[in-house]
Amino acid sequence: MAKSYFLVIGLFVLQISVNAQNKLKVACIGASITYGARIENRDQNSYPAQLQHMLGNNYEVTNYGVSGTTMLKKGNSPYWNSNEYKSALAANPDVVIIDLGGNDSKLINRVYLNDFVPDYHEFIQPFVKLPSHPRIVLLLAMPSFVKDTTDIWDPVIVQQVNPRIQQVAFENKVEVIDMHSAFVDKEAITPDKIHPNKEGAAIMAQTIYENIAQKKDTSFNIFKNLKTEYKVSSFLGYECADFTFDNRACKIVKPKWSAPGHPWIWRARFWGHEPQTDVSLLQRGFHLVYCDVAELLGNDESIKYWNDFYNLVYKAGLGKKAVMEGMSRGGVYVFNWAAVNINKVSCVYVDNPLLNIPSWAEGFMKTPEIKNDMFEAFKKDYNITTDEQVREFKNSPIDKVKQIVRGKYPILILCADEDEAVSPADNTLLFEKSVKALNGDITVIHKPGFKHHPHSFPNPKPITDFILKATGQYLQIPENN
């Protein structure tokens, strides 16, 4: 019996050892935020500890945070010199999360910021060469709410540190997560204006959990499927193909990996303006595309160009249905195309949208002595010569609600209640009423006190969540008790 008992115990111990070896190792590298500084019971409540709980027993998450450290070798406290750096490399991890850069924004370190990119390149190379060939994920530095310009200073983070992190991500083809936008409206949960509390650490853990747990298609590369020449540039750390198609300027930004089904978001106008939502979706495996049809204002010619462009990207491997995104007059482009392509739209997000052209044009007709380029382009696009034709115009989205509702796709509108450029009453509110009258799926988020600009939200989470749910890409986060 003793021998049998010993054998059972031996097998049990052996099984534990095998399981431990099969666990995916996640190395969390960073400074005090990673360490969990100022968080009560940090061993359970730091972001790496909460990430461990979310990921479960198939993962081994290790906290390699060292308070006060910098990415810069010449910084006042280089992470390079820490035992944790050596330990993280020795662990041969499968995933490496790097959150360094905030301390580099201190006055004492700013003089060396030109070394930031080459130092970061050198920092990650030993991880690239590990036998485990780990995924490497860079976090943009979180916002600082302090007023002391010599300390961790947000303008320096926004203008100098984070763009450099994005450059490193682009040049090394590694992943990047925008942790700055995720916390830009979270001052209330950063008690000392720098370090997030337990709730903030949970948001970090949830964001990184999504990155790790999301199903991925790492083999898909849309650039290889394009039947045209293109040039590659950086779009905030992601590879962007710039090319000409149908004599129109076009762009496709590919994520570091593609989500299942190759989902995509189609920016209608104003490329790169308030890109928070675009970036949030890129880091979740969405592609981002653009076909410049300015300034055709949703006429038949623009719809033809977009039909051709849709066929191009669909044949190149993107999903059948697009997420349509339009800001301001981009709303006309989006809905006029969607009205005749009802089976090619997964959802629509528009922001202070122009939906009623005659209402908008009325102001220009009252002041004919002042020429407006957009108004003149509109008349040319639709062969309009008289004010009466403008007033009788019936090719606005507000005139196409029946066709739009037939698509059965959800619609999200952000509406600035004090919009001086596009009247909410004549556009969003009238459109919303018409859609609801036909039992259409529409949500309007009001922005009290805001004017036409700025578009979007600094933290795009409400928009992103809407799109993820509409496209079936929303990932449920495990509860952290």
pLDDT value of residue 322: 98
272: which DSSP letter? T
pLDDT value of residue 481: 54
Task: Report residue 99: phi and psi, to 5°.
Answer: -125, 80
CB 270 within 8 A of CB 332: no
- Give the Cα-Cα-Cα angle 149, 123, 200 (nearest 5 degrees): 50
Strand boundaries in 132-182, DSSP class E: 135-139, 175-177
CB 288 within 8 A of CB 322: no
307: which DSSP letter? H
Question: Per the structure block, which two tokens stand in for 325?
Answer: 């995104």
Cα gap 428→398, rounded to integer Å: 9
Angle between helices 116-128 and 162-172 (to 10 degrees): 40
Strand boundaries in 2-119, DSSP class E: 24-30, 59-65, 95-99
Question: Per the structure block, which two tokens stand in for 228?
Answer: 């045209």
Domains of the chain: 18-213 (3.40.50.1110), 222-356+396-470 (3.40.50.1820)
Residue 334: enclosing H or E segment and its boundaries? helix 330-339
Q: CA 113, 161, 73, 131 torsion: positive or negative?
A: negative
Cα gap 247→175, rounded to integer Å: 33
189-194 long-range Cβ contacts below 8 angstroms, 24+ apart: 190/145, 191/38, 192/38, 193/144, 193/145, 193/146, 194/32, 194/33, 194/102, 194/144, 194/145, 194/146, 194/151, 194/152
Strands 322-327 and 345-351: parallel
Residue 262 in 3-state DSSP? coil
160: which DSSP letter? I
Query: In angstroms, what CA-CA distances link 363 with 285, 367, 394, 410, 422?
Result: 43, 7, 18, 32, 11
pLDDT value of residue 21: 62
The position carrying tokens 């935020």 is: 33
Task: Report residue 426: phi and psi, to 5°.
Answer: -85, -10
pLDDT value of residue 17: 36
CB 165 within 8 A of CB 176: yes
Cis before residue 397, ω within 30 degrees of 0?
A: no
Question: Per the structure block, which two tokens stand in for 76?
Answer: 């006042």
Strands 287-291 and 248-254: antiparallel
Residue 233 in 3-state DSSP? strand
Ordered alpha helix ranges (H), 214-354: 222-225, 276-282, 300-315, 330-339
Task: Report residue 386: phi and psi, to 5°.
Answer: -130, 155
pLDDT value of residue 272: 97
Query: In angstroms, what CA-CA distances link 422 with 175, 224, 434, 474?
Result: 38, 41, 18, 32
Residue 479: enclosing H or E segment and its boundaries? none
pLDDT value of residue 348: 98
Cα gap 418→361, rounded to integer Å: 18
pLDDT value of residue 15: 36
CB 267 within 8 A of CB 281: no
Per-residue model confidence as pLDDT tens for the chain (481 residues): 333 333 343 433 333 333 456 899 999 999 999 999 999 999 999 999 999 999 999 999 999 999 999 999 999 999 999 999 999 999 999 999 999 999 999 999 999 999 999 999 999 999 999 999 999 999 999 999 999 999 999 999 999 999 999 999 999 999 999 999 999 999 999 999 999 999 999 999 999 999 999 999 999 999 999 989 999 999 999 999 999 999 999 999 999 999 999 999 999 999 999 999 999 999 999 999 999 999 899 999 999 999 999 999 999 999 999 999 999 999 999 999 999 999 999 999 999 999 999 999 998 888 887 888 999 999 999 999 999 999 999 999 999 999 999 999 999 999 999 999 999 999 999 999 999 999 999 999 999 999 999 999 999 999 999 999 999 999 999 876 5
